[in-house]
Amino acid sequence: MLVSVSLLLVIASLVTVHTGRVKSLEHKILLNSQNQVLSVAAAQGGLAHGISRMKTDPNWLGEEHSVIMENSTRAIVRADFNQVQRNDMNTRWATIESTGLSPDGLSRHNVSEQVLRYPLLNIIPKAPLISTAPVPEALTLTLGANPNGGGVGVPVSIWSGEGITDLSINSATCTLQIFDENRCALDAYSDHTQISSDILSSHEQFPIDVLQHYFHIRMPDWQFLKSEASKIVNDCEEATLGDSRVIWVHGDCELDVSQHIGSEHTPVILILAEAALLMPNESRVFGMVIYISTHLPAVPKRIVMATGAHISGTLLLLSSIDNDMSQIVIRYHTDLLARLQQDDDMQRLGKISGSWRDF
């Protein structure tokens, strides 16, 4: 009897020990799984942090640093930067690496991804007026030409895929100095009497899709351009616009007298979607104005500039405007458009497809 009881006690002890070992092993497996999940999440968070820092801090050289996450996890983030030539510009791309650590430091997980930092404006426009729509004689134009639009010393005032045979009696194109002196009508490249070589009409190099040419966004995908806007508004009141750099307007854009949108130091991209542009005396838009239609059929709207009002930069006409009611005045500005392309807050980030690594 005593032997039987002893055997039962031994068996019970062995079962207890075995159960304890199994429970301990299960606990370790569960802890390891939790640590793995936490380190993976930390690594992904560190990668997102690195991409965000690349976007907001153009002076970051990729030096290694730690980022504390929730639940006491952390990530070690670094980046290797490279330069690539793109449209005569040095564009930066980086391989961002992130190591995620669990709270106890026992689990580590590494991820990496390549990211390209590129300008929203792909190419600096070559002319003050670029039009996919016909430019009829009824439209009144005053244009200060790009002095080097066709090469050094070769001025360009209009670049169009459509034919231009005549200008209105009040239209003229001229040098920037003559424009600034308000003598365009007296000393013109082109006017109602002649069309000179500064007007490139039915041009063989004119892009099939102008929006894609300048922004890598196809015209049918105009929503992507809208998503780039820092402000989407119904009007152009100063209080509404603030200091936004990319503005999408889907109501009439009517400026006040002497109102400026943007400046020489902070030019803007002003996108008019079925929106008239009404500029009274001495008002000004610095940068690029894009007139676009997002509906079929399009409803042409006016673009009217009064005395002393003009666009300093360029106008992209991607749809027909109300020519009989419009008057366009544009002074080309090379440095301003270059700034629009190169400013830090006009840069965008794109993840390079297939570059993500989990190792």
The CA distances from residue 205 to 12, 40, 81, in Å, are: 90, 50, 35
* Sequence letter at residue 248: W
**Location of structure tokens 């080097």:** 148
Please give the backbone phi and psi of residue 199, each rounded to the nearest 5 degrees, phi first.
Answer: -105, 110
Q: Is the sign of the CA dihedral 224, 335, 233, 347 positive or negative?
A: positive
Please give the backbone phi and psi of residue 205, each rounded to the nearest 5 degrees, phi first.
Answer: -95, 5
Q: Which residues of the chain have pLDDT under 50?
A: none
Q: Using CA atoms, how far apart are residues 353 and 165, in angstroms rounded to an integer? A: 46
Q: Using CA atoms, how far apart are residues 297 and 292, in angstroms rounded to an integer? A: 12
Judge contact between 228 and 202, C-beta under 8 A.
Answer: no
- 17-50 burial, b for 16+ CB within 10 Å, e for fewer? eeeeeeeeeeeeeeeeeebbebbbbbbbbbbbbb
Nearest to 149 by CA among 118, 169, 127, 116: 127
- Whole-number pLDDT of residue 11: 64
Judge contact between 253 and 236, C-beta under 8 A.
Answer: yes
Q: What is the largest CA-CA distance in the chain?
A: 128
Q: Using CA atoms, how far apart are residues 304 and 182, in angstroms rounded to an integer? A: 18
Q: Is the peptide bond before 58 cis (omega within 30 degrees of 0)?
A: no
How many helices (H) and strands (E) would you count in the chain?
6, 22
The CA distances from residue 212 to 36, 225, 332, in Å, are: 44, 10, 22
Structure tokens at 8: 């039962």
- Whole-number pLDDT of residue 31: 61
Nearest to 175 by CA among 155, 153, 200, 199: 155
Nearest to 319 by CA among 297, 339, 345, 292: 292
Question: How do strand 108-119 and strand 347-351 relate by DSSP bridges?
Answer: antiparallel
Q: Using CA atoms, how far apart are residues 155 and 233, in angstroms rounded to an integer? A: 36
- End-to-end CA gap in the chain: 62
